[in-house]
């Protein structure tokens, strides 16, 4: 099916790409809203504001909590795509010297901001927990 689409449906590809982009944004919004609304519907309640904004649990074993936080945000920044994907368009877009860095910046910014809001929705219904891997045989040092 994909091969047929690429071979015979070249005119449909921009429309399909636009439709997929819109549906991905809608699914992100729906998923975020479900994560934000479900604690009130199930009776589990929300985490306290001090837990959401003031507490950071580094359960990885690494000493630098800032590094762990940035690594967690990095995965979200790359969910939209990688800078390599934008860089492959150098020969196809006008004025690549200006537009490729702007594309990479827009891609990473969009990924980071959307990840931040998704993490807020996830953390707002988390509760403080103990170390999930308390077994001392699994150390990360």
The whole-angstrom separation of Cα 46 and Cα 40 is 7
In a shared domain, residues 130 and 79: yes
Whether residue 62 sits in one domain with residue 122: yes
pTM beyond 0.85: no
Q: What confidence tens digit (pLDDT) does each residue in 97-106 have?
A: 999 999 888 8
Within this chain, do residues 97 and 114 fall inside the same structural domain, yes or no? yes
pLDDT at 130: 54
SS3 46: coil
**Dihedral angle computed from the Cα positions of residues 10, 13, 76 and 96, in that order, rounded to the nearest 10 degrees:** 60
pLDDT, one tens digit per residue, over 59-71 is 788 888 888 888 8
* 68 and 17, same domain (yes or no): no
Mean pLDDT by 10 residues, the chain (141 residues): 87 91 91 86 80 78 83 72 80 90 87 84 72 52 53
137 and 113 within one domain: yes
Same structural domain for residues 27 and 92?
no
Largest CA distance in the chain: 58
Number of domains making up the chain: 2
Cβ–Cβ < 8 Å for 39, 120: no
Same-domain check for residues 57 and 40: no
């Amino acid at each position: 099916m994909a091969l047929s689409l690429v071979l015979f449906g070249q005119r449909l590809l921009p429309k399909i790409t636009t439709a997929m982009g819109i549906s991905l944004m809608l699914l992100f919004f729906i998923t975020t809203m479900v994560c934000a609304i479900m604690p009130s519907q199930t009776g589990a309640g929300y985490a306290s504001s001090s837990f959401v904004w003031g507490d950071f649990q580094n359960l990885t074993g690494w000493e630098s909590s800032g590094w762990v936080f940035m690594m967690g945000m990095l995965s979200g920044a790359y969910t939209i795509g990688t800078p390599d994907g934008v860089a492959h368009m150098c020969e196809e877009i006008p004025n690549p010297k200006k537009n490729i860095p702007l594309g990479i910046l827009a891609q990473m910014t969009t990924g980071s901001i959307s990840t931040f809001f998704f993490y807020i929705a996830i953390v707002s219904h988390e509760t403080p927990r103990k170390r999930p891997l308390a077994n001392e045989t699994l150390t990360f040092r």
